[in-house]
Chains A and B, each alone.
Chain A
Amino acid sequence: MPKIKNYPRLNSASSINHEAEQNSLFLPDFCALKMVFAVVVIGELLAIVLTMAPLRMDKQLWNDMALVALFIQWNGLMCSSALCLLRPFFKNYSNRFVALSSYLILLLIITLLSELTFYIVEKYYLFDAISSTSHWEFLVHNLIIGGIISALALRYFYVQHQWRVKVQAESCTKLQLLQARIRPHFLFNSMNSIASLTRTRPEVAERMTEDLAELFRMLFREDHEMIAWARELTLSEYYINIEKQRLGDRLKISWEVNDIPDDAMVPALILQPLLENAIFHGIEPEINGGSIVVAGELNYNQLIITVENTNSKNIIHRQGNKMALANIEERLKAHYHGKASIVCQDKDDVYSVIVSMPYLMQDES
């Protein structure tokens, strides 16, 4: 029985990557030496601010500052080691959960340390301002200061993480979009073929360069462009011509597309990635190659284009990047708002991709 299934991961390639980044932990690695150093320095600065803020200039200042600093360092290092230890655990949870739970954990640590400090200070009379009467005051003060500082720090880490995600996503998308539409191998293999042909058959090399140029001219255009079917077909033929030079008799292709009107508008280069996939999975892995059938029909105002390739008999299937199909799906969504679809069927000896989209004329698109 043939297995009919939708392609497993039909997200756009860029969004997959983007999501992975988005879901990465926003907290930095507190186990790193750099981070420990930063925590110590910030703690020291905070101690200076806290002791100098009341505008005092007495002999006790330095002494107090040292004690305050000691207390803050203690808190800071305990908090960062807790976050360091919890990091592997946090990795499995959403950033919202991590933010809330780490905030609560930080407050808990501050409370515990305050209590402990209070107990020690009271016992050894280390600090004048603290006596048994001010127990609650001490605890509440520490919690307020600690709560504000932790909230600010967490917020800072979150914003920084968001910014990093955005920068990475932006730089990835463009390259990935291009790669989703054409495999870099294709470019370099074609260049190699041209280099070889230049000596032996210059006129074929010339023709191939022209085909390649035209394909890339279209690739570098805007993503959302629509072109006439006749033009799309010509571009696909250029692509196949180039691959034929490389693969020779191993690539057999037949076109059964006369039913589709020449003036039907389709998203530019929607067919080429499908052909590329068919070659990558069906032709290249086989010593004797294979065949591709491109069929098109017009059915109740829907254009149905099928690209079939013989399934490679290699027991080891080639791993593709699954980007091409995801990218086509994304583009169909953008163009036709749910009125188009792409389905893959994996039967025993044939793999086919069926794209269905509304028939639009020049002025409608």
Chain B
Amino acid sequence: MSDTDTPGDLQTLLDELAPLLVDGSPHAVALGLTLVSLKPGLAVMRAPYSADLVGDPESGILHGGVITALLDHVCGLAAFSGFGGQDTPATLDLRLDYMRPAKPGLDVTAEAVCLKSHGLVAFVRATAHDGDINDPVATAQAAFMVTGASKAAQERAVEALRSGQPL
């Protein structure tokens, strides 16, 4: 968070950008991912269960790739808000622990916390669960970085949003 922003201002900015952050990502849309909430350094997203996204037709379990994309995206949002909503961060690395398969038929929710962000790097931790966060499906730990490309993209996003132009 930059010194000039109070948390209130940041929340306003996040609310303003929220529709863009998930619905503006074709891959997230293709997987049906939705944003549940976005606060400074805290993001929650959901992957609704869908037969189209199954990894093993015999068991009906969601493909691990859905969980991977969900955790990557939610961690990115926590990093974005942790950076003060000023820069779209790029993933440096993502470490995933698959604790158990998600139960067939249940939506998966992922909650991410930005543990620390300073200057160029943000550290994020996330948990994915199918109803009880104390019985996780998977956890993630990730590091994000602000890059030249991500900075330019962020400027274009804010400009597009404020001018009401489609992306």
Q: Real complex partners, A and B?
A: no
Residues on A lying within 8 angstroms of B by beta carbon are none
